[in-house]
Structure 1
Amino acid sequence: MTHKNNHTITILDESIAPGETKTINMEIAKLHTMTKLKIPIIVSRSKINGPVVLFSAGLHGDEINGTEIVRQLITKKVNQPKKGTIICIPIINIFGFVNQSREFPDGRDLNRVFPGSKNGSLASRFAYYLMKEIIPNVDYCVDFHSGGASRFNAAQIRIAPSNPELRALADIFQAPFTLFSKNIPNSFRNSCDKAGVKMLLFEGGKSQDINSSITVEGVEGAKRLLQHLGMLSDKLIASQRVTPTIPIEKSAWIRAKYSGLFHNHTEAGKLVEKGEELALITDPFGKVEHSVKAPHRGYIINSNHASIVYQGDAIYHISL
């Protein structure tokens, strides 16, 4: 198989030769205070030819659990490949990270403006340079995300349906769950797919939060993938999960039928039975209690951690 690791890799006019490790700072724009914002891109290459793998996080600036996973891949030297090249971008949306916000300062969701435009909005320009400078070098990508707002995702890999190659890679990653979901137009995943990059999208935890169990799932899954590709250092061991990943082809949201205080006692990842009580929704004054029950047997793959919910809010994501 021909990999993109051959010869010298060039990113933003900086060359990284085989056997070299280099941090390249991407500077596309400044804050309104004229402060420079640098996006570190850590590139580590073996002298031996092999695949190029990208580990990225922080596409949404408030999803910091993914950033922690990529940080640990660097500190534990998982990113030092036995062959090939590993590129780590712990924070793509550095603007959102600074502001603890999901979006860019222009209010746009970076994950909805790909492949971007050189002369477009601020978010669009970042998407453009990511696709122009990084992705042409990449064979495989794992992009780490978390649940939005207060919604906590069980550790899962998301892939497009009817893609046997991605399904095999998801089985190797061995997250607790593998969800089949169509690529969203103008998303990073969709653009990578069109560019021929094999992407696994990891979801786990919730925004503005670091969860140690989710972090372990992300780090160990990355190690399993690298081991499969022959890239994991001989000094490291990839643990194997006792149970295989659980495939979920269809799922649905359970929504709050009432507004009130939300007393959630069902964590993401649990298998629940039909009619099982998942939570209580109460008024603040001690007069009303509404039971939330599972509509059918299934796995809870997302659980809302909010203390207050409104009628219609998504409170659980359950497999069908």
Structure 2
Amino acid sequence: MITAKNNTLHILGVTILPGESKEISLDLAKLHTTSTVDVPIIVERSKIPGPTILFTAGIHGDEVNGVEIVRQLIASGINKPKCGTIICIPVINIFGFINLKREFPDGRDLNRVFPGSVNGSLASRVAHKLVHEIIPHVDLIIDYHTGSAGRFNAPQLRFVKDNKELNELSKVFGAPFVLYSKNLNKSFRNTCHKLGKPMLLFEGGKSFHIDETITASGIKGAKRILQHFGMLKSNFTVAKPTKESIYINESTWKRAKYSGMFKPSVKIGIKVNKRDVLGTITDPFGKFNHFVKANNVGYIINVNEAPIVYQGDALFHISTKLKR
């Protein structure tokens, strides 16, 4: 349950009083050149009591669209709350962001090492600091992600189906789609769940790409959540969603039957019927042309935009069962 409070905040040895704004550095490690690497954490507090909401992005270093969403929250001043506290971490995996890689320099996926260890790998140590230094202070986390490996996600929220609180908050956020999914072992989301910290995980767009529609969806959702808790200042306005979210109970991947050059022919987010043509796979020599067809009626919530695919590659993520 999210409640209003206005106590003195102590994060990473820094004290932030009600009404104060501070940028804190999460000291991760040093590079092999002895240069320090810090993760900036932007904390904005109102003098009026209220919840503490954390906005995060960049757990994977190649997911720049999430970083852009949190950046815009800060640049536009949306993160300055009318009441309560807003904490923003635009880039958690600063190593991957610098090196244009999904993983940490040790090759580990940060989102598979939570809750981490103080004596573990570099990624594990970062996860441990985040879990023990930041998460205890927050009431709600909104974590921004994108699709990987050239796969473009429709703007969507992900959480476990039977969580009443997150279902209610998802209606407030107003993403076009909600995909019910299990909490993966050792993920940031699963760890927050075990700690009793609700998280809305937003997926949208693809790696190494910034899309205006995805960015707008993520920002509007954040503003609606802040407005819901009375935290959005009056100089910001946000419209209600034009359509109700589509809640997806089950989904499936349409995979490539052949290897070749791939071109999708349907737009993300649309509803397709069984046997509709979704795209084509061809060879470079003009001798082969295969039509990729839908196996069922459903919504396209992910499209592979890679120009070259191999047999078995995931091409389209399609809903198979909607919430009634």
Task: Answer yes or no: same fold by TM over 0.5.
Answer: yes
Question: Does the 8 Å contact 1:82/1:231 carry over to 2?
Answer: yes
Secondary structure, in 3 states, of the residue corresponding to 1:218? helix
CA contact (8 A) 2:62 2:102 kept: yes
User: Mapping of 1:126-205 within 5 angstroms?
Assistant: 126-205=126-205
Q: How many matched pairs?
A: 320
Asked whether the equivalents of residues 2 and 140 of structure 2 are also in contact (C-alpha less than 8 Å), the reply is no
SS of the residue 1:299 aligns to: strand
The aligned counterpart of 1:226 is: 226
Report deviation, 1:6.
2.9
The answer on whether the counterparts of 1:256 and 1:315 sit within 8 Å (CA) in structure 2 is yes
Q: Deviations over 1:266-313 (max 9, x none)?
A: 222111111110000001101110000011111000000000000000
- Kept in 1, the 8 Å contact 2:44–2:87? The answer is yes
Q: Quick check: 1:45–1:81 contact (8 Å CA) kept in 2?
A: yes
Equivalent residue, structure 2, for 1:22: 22
Displacement of 1:155 after TM fit?
Answer: 0.1
For the structure 1 residues 32 and 52, does the alpha-carbon distance in structure 2 shift closer, same or farther, using more than 3 Å as the test? same
Hey, what's the Cα distance between the residues in 2 that align with 1:5 and 1:307? 51
**CA deviation digits over 1:238-258, x for unaligned, max 9?**
121111111001000000000
Report the counterpart of residue 88 of structure 1 in structure 2: 88
Query: Deviation per CA, 1:184-232, whole angstroms, max 9, x where unpaired?
Result: 0110001111111110000000000000100000000000011111111
Amino acid at match of 2:262: F
In the aligned structure 2, how far is the partner of 1:252 from the partner of 1:145? Answer: 20
Q: Secondary structure at the match of 1:29?
A: strand
Give the SS at the match of 2:72: helix
Q: Is the 8 A contact 2:60 2:93 kept in 1?
A: yes
Percent of aligned pairs with the same residue?
58
1:4 Cα shift? 7.2
Q: Quick one: which amino acid aligns to residue 268 of structure 1?
A: I
- Identify the residue that residue 57 of structure 1 maps to in structure 2: 57
- Counterpart in 2 of 1:36? 36
1:261 and 2:261 matched: yes
CA distance in structure 1 between the partners assigned to 2:4 and 2:136 by the alignment = 8
Give the Cα separation in 1 of the matches to 2:265 and 2:243. Answer: 25
> Does the aligned pair in 1 maintain the 2:6–2:48 contact within 8 Å?
no
Aligned equivalents of 1:114, 1:4: Cα separation in 2: 28
Determine the structure 1 residue equivalent to 2:292.
Answer: 292
The TM-score with structure 1 as length reference comes to: 0.98
Give the distance between the partners of 2:5 and 2:32, measured in 1 at CA. 38
Q: Secondary structure of 1:38's partner?
A: strand
Structure 2 residue identity aligned to 1:202 = F
Conserved in 2, the CA contact under 8 Å of 1:4 and 1:138?
no
Which residue pairs with 1:280 in the alignment? 280
Are the aligned partners of 1:5 and 1:137 in contact in 2 as well (CA < 8 Å)?
Answer: no
TM-score of the aligned structures, taking structure 2 as reference length:
0.97
Preserved contact between residue 160 and residue 180 of structure 1 (Cα < 8 Å): yes
Change (3 A) 1:214 1:248: same
User: Separation in 1 of the partners of 2:125 and 2:274?
Assistant: 48
Question: Distance in 2 between the 1:26 and 1:157 partners?
Answer: 28
Matched, 1:211 2:205: no
State the superposition RMSD in angstroms.
1.0
Unaligned runs of 5+ in 2: none
CA shift for structure 1 position 5: 4.0
Alpha carbons 1:115, 1:188 under 8 Å: kept: yes
Q: Secondary structure at the match of 2:37?
A: coil
**Quick check: 1:4–1:139 contact (8 Å CA) kept in 2?**
no
1:209 and 1:127 map into 2 onto residues whose CA distance is 25
Residue 7 (structure 1) aligns with: 7
Q: 1:241 — aligned with what?
A: 241
Q: Which residue does 2:302 correspond to in 1?
A: 302
- Cα distance in 1 for residues equivalent to 2:5 and 2:196: 15
Contact 2:57-2:145 at 8 Å conserved across structures: yes
Separation in 2 of the partners of 1:316 and 1:45?
43
